[in-house]
Amino acid sequence: MTSFAPQFPSGTRIRVKADYPETRGPCHIRTPHYLRGQEGVVERPLGAFRNPEDLAFARPAATIPLYHVRFDQQGLWNEGQPGDTVLVELYEHWLEPAA
């Protein structure tokens, strides 16, 4: 198994990949649909853990950095007050730098 140092430090603007692996066959996904394609900010790296998307199928699982990523609540659901946020744990393979 491969271990990676976190690519995104705290404060980095990221985008959640707009990928839908469930359309390609059975899979286990930890990334909520409502976040795919959305931009957020890395709150902090949480460490590196074995990929649960592989572990769910008893496949060899790489160790991947996990992050707390903060999103503007109004941008996700068009509700809430200015400044309301949503904090989600996301694995690095679902993240890319924001444009």
Q: Is the pLDDT of residue 14 over 90?
A: yes
Instruction: Tell me the torsion sign for CA atoms 15, 90, 32, 86.
Output: negative
Q: Is the pLDDT of residue 1 over 60?
A: no
Between the alpha carbon of residue 1 and those of residues 20, 31, 47, 68, the distances in Å are: 25, 22, 16, 23
Domains and CATH numbers, the chain: 13-97 (2.30.30.50)
Q: What is the mean pLDDT of residues 17-42?
A: 86
Rounded-to-integer distance, Cα 89 and Cα 8, Å: 13
Instruction: Please state, for a pLDDT cut of 70, what percent of the chain lies above it.
Output: 94
Q: Is the pLDDT of residue 53 over 70?
A: yes
Q: Is the pLDDT of residue 23 over 80?
A: no
Q: Is the pLDDT of residue 70 over 50?
A: yes
Residue 69: its pLDDT value, please? Answer: 98
For residues 62 and 1, the answer to whether their CB atoms sit within 8 Å is: yes
Residue 4: its pLDDT value, please? Answer: 63
Q: Is the pLDDT of residue 96 over 50?
A: yes
Q: Which amino acid is at 50?
A: R
Between the alpha carbon of residue 23 and those of residues 14, 26, 27, 47, the distances in Å are: 24, 8, 9, 29
What does pTM read for this prediction?
A: 0.88
